[in-house]
Copies of this chain bind each other. A is one copy, B any other.
């Protein structure tokens, strides 16, 4: 067990916070990187019932702010959450692609466990929508192995298409079966997301408006045209891809001794597990399972002293539908090769023993890459203290929640076990 608890959390609304100037066509901010970061930081401190003076360290996870908004060196922006109180506090920025803020959280855990810090703020933030799609795609491709992937024109849909193809081949699936599996995943995320007031694809969004809440509805979409489901990189289609989102989330961590009886809303970080895969896909021995992901899960479960049977809910990294399937297999919620069938058969809904992505996941809640890890932790924390944002599990108050956050093409793998204290 770690010696650290989450004692407060905040998640901004996720969305595309930009507008197009009707005259010049220029894309303008309606909520900036700076505003998102500060809102999340302030919100988490307030949620923890602390004053900014109580915070003695800040970790900021962000993936590519220099490419998205010309801002590198973002850790010091954490001071702006409350400049009078926080000036001179130590700050760290971490980057681990889409796991940037889980990496931040883990380093913050180490820092508290070292005895050097008592209460720290961990913020995840990204602002992706100021760039046109083409440039945004380039930014994300920088998180691949550039010489063998990005530089060759391989995009992230392309990298995860390799996993989809590897999975299809290894388990001898037809294209049609694979497509049905993926549609089942998307439909579940859309159904859940519509209930999440903070989601990018929430109430009134396209999946709600066009009724994309069943696999059949998604399978019936036309191949092309407006409202269609075109192929992006075979076998991945538009509705297999997560969203390009602006947002931030934050948690406050405290040493268990500091959290203790003073924090009735403390949730302990019962176990963390991190495992890194080699960056280039072409050097990996297989492409049908999350090899490093499985190790990160094992490490976290061992530390927490649990098995998957103890887990009451999970937020997993569905950057693409294939990865949601691989993630439930990595966690052990599904046997290897069964994940897709399990989604098709209606598992992982709010009624399941272990619902997955009650938030709507990256597919529906949205995926502001550097914010995603912090957001997953924030929302599972909120579930565990009985203050869920959006859907809660049908089977009563959960006790153990798991976060499974992945950076890059299944490269930086972070698993956290959170456990309600009382």
Binding site for B on A (CB under 8 A): 34, 58, 63-64, 66-67, 69-80, 83, 87-97, 103, 106-107, 109-111, 113-116, 139, 141-144, 146-147, 150-151, 274-279, 283, 292, 295, 407-408, 411-412
Q: Which residue of B lies closest to A283 (CB)?
A: B83
List chain B residues, Cβ under 8 A from A75: 95-96, 103, 276, 412
Q: What is the oligomeric copy number?
A: 2
List chain B residues, Cβ under 8 A from A113: 110, 113-116
Contact B95 A278 (CB under 8 A): no
Q: Which residue of B lies closest to A93 (CB)?
A: B95
Complex-state Cα separation, A100 to B66, whole angstroms = 15
Contact B66 A142 (CB under 8 A): yes
Contact B92 A72 (CB under 8 A): no
For residue A400, give the distance in angstroms from its CB to the closest CB of chain B: 21
Q: Which residue of B lies closest to A414 (CB)?
A: B90
Complex-state Cα separation, A111 to B95, whole angstroms = 17
- Interface SS of chain A: mixed
List chain B residues, Cβ under 8 A from A97: 72-73
Known: A70-B141, A76-B278, A78-B276. 20 other contacts (CB 8 A): A66-B66, A66-B139, A66-B142, A70-B146, A70-B150, A71-B142, A73-B142, A77-B279, A79-B279, A80-B279, A87-B292, A88-B277, A89-B275, A90-B276, A92-B103, A92-B106, A93-B94, A95-B95, A107-B111, A110-B114
Complex-state Cα separation, A92 to B72, whole angstroms = 17
22 A-B residue contacts at CB 8 Å? A63-B72, A64-B72, A70-B142, A71-B146, A73-B407, A73-B408, A75-B276, A75-B412, A76-B276, A76-B277, A76-B412, A77-B279, A79-B278, A79-B279, A83-B278, A88-B292, A90-B275, A92-B96, A92-B103, A92-B106, A110-B110, A113-B113
Complex-state Cα separation, A412 to B67, whole angstroms = 21
For residue A201, give the distance in angstroms from its CB to the closest CB of chain B: 26
Complex-state Cα separation, A412 to B139, whole angstroms = 26
Contact A411 B90 (CB under 8 A): no
* Residue of A96, A279, A292 contacting most chain B CB atoms (<10 Å): A279
